[in-house]
Amino acid sequence: MAPPTRVDASRIDAAFVAALIRDQFPEWAHLSLRPVRNGGNDHRMFRLGGELVVRLPSAPGYVPQVAKEQEWLPRLGPALPLPIPALRGIGAATDGFPAPWSVYGWIDGRPLSVGRVEDERGIAIALAGFLRALRAADADGAPAPGPHSAFRGGPLQHYDDEMQALLDRVHGAERDRAAGLWRDALGAPFTGRPVWFHGDVAAGNLLVTDGGLAAVIDFGCAGAGDPSCDTVMVWTRFQGRARAAFMAELAVDEATWARGRGWAVWKALIMLTNEQRAQRALARHVLDELAAGH
């Protein structure tokens, strides 16, 4: 197999990753290697033996996330109440794969996105506590929002031109609501000190075991700035008692919720025309939830 000459997810497979392991981590070359199911889109993941996982960026735009995670996850881990990925090895760029990559410890659990759990309220409370601890973690020198975070954590004005075009995907009263939510979000700017945010708090990045929240993964969009982007589980997942508990435990002000609704409506409009039916269904759910609470 000819190795890829650029970061191209379509050419990253187990054989190629095994060759990287043999070259750079020969002590692990004897371990089995297999793709991780539900391993995400921005990075490709391969389970290495029983205790490790290999993580490689899937496109050039995700490459800056690698060094960021390698530097900051070991610092953040001790400050957080739940496990996050623990760095075990730093892979170097090569001519065949011109980007850094990582080996992390494997964390048992299944993504929250795979089915329901009995105690959704318990999950909501645990997640809110994790996000509070993340906000409180030392952010001195932490990366400010930028391309590495898809500008999450930064001012929503960055997306305003795009949002004006996205509004054409809905019509009538729904368009008016979406436009109103966006105006409210822009009218509630972040004025606090930068704090750590995760940037992609989604059911696929939350691992559960025995019905409880076991770990939070995928910090590729993390940085220090406005944490309102981490509120969106209110509209994407939680309902009823779980939603109320999450909102109470997260302990943010109304301006943060207003910006969170802005993040949610922006993302929903993007997903509304996604080629994947599940993404379109999630977009419609979010828009319906935002409308119900407007």
What is the structure's pLDDT at 8?
72
**Cα separation, 189 vs 68, whole angstroms:** 26
What is the structure's pLDDT at 150?
94
Which tokens is 194 given? 């930068």
101 within 8 A of 89, measured Cβ to Cβ: no
Give every strand in the sheet of 212-216, ordered side by side.
110-111, 206-209, 212-216
**Cα separation, 192 vs 167, whole angstroms:** 29
State yes or no: pLDDT of 5 exceeds 70.
no
The tens digit of pLDDT for each residue in 90-100 reads 999 998 899 99
Residue with tokens 């589980």: 233
pTM above 0.75, yes or no: yes
The helix or strand, by DSSP H or E, that contains position 45, with its residue range, turns out to be strand 43-48
Fold of 111-293: Aminoglycoside 3'-phosphotransferase; Chain: A, domain 2 (3.90.1200)
Mean pLDDT of the chain: 94
Range list for CATH 3.30.200.20 in the chain:
9-106
Range list for CATH 3.90.1200.10 in the chain:
111-293
What is the structure's pLDDT at 1?
35
The tens digit of pLDDT for each residue in 237-274 reads 999 999 999 999 999 999 999 999 999 999 999 999 99
Q: Which amino acid is at 35?
A: P
What are the distances in angstroms from CA 234 to CA 75, 82, 127, 168, 243? 28, 20, 11, 25, 6
Please state whether beta strands 52-57 and 101-105 pair in parallel, antiparallel, or not at all (unpaired). antiparallel
Please state whether beta strands 101-105 and 195-197 pair in parallel, antiparallel, or not at all (unpaired). unpaired
Of 121, 148, 134, the residue nearest 61 (C-alpha): 148
The band of 4, judged by pLDDT with boundaries at 50, 70 and 90, is very low
The tens digit of pLDDT for each residue in 47-75 reads 999 999 999 999 999 999 999 999 999 99
Largest CA distance in the chain: 62
What are the distances in angstroms from CA 240 to CA 204, 243, 250? 21, 5, 16
What number is the average pLDDT over the span 31-41?
A: 87
State yes or no: pLDDT of 9 exceeds 90.
no
The tens digit of pLDDT for each residue in 138-165 reads 999 999 999 999 999 999 999 999 999 9
What is the structure's pLDDT at 115?
73
Please state whether beta strands 87-91 and 101-105 pair in parallel, antiparallel, or not at all (unpaired). antiparallel
Phi-psi region of 105 (alpha: psi -120 to 50; beta: other; left: phi over 0): beta
Q: Which amino acid is at 40?
A: G
Phi, psi of 284 (to 5 degrees): -65, -40
Share of the chain above pLDDT 90, in %: 90
CATH architecture of 9-106: 2-Layer Sandwich (3.30)
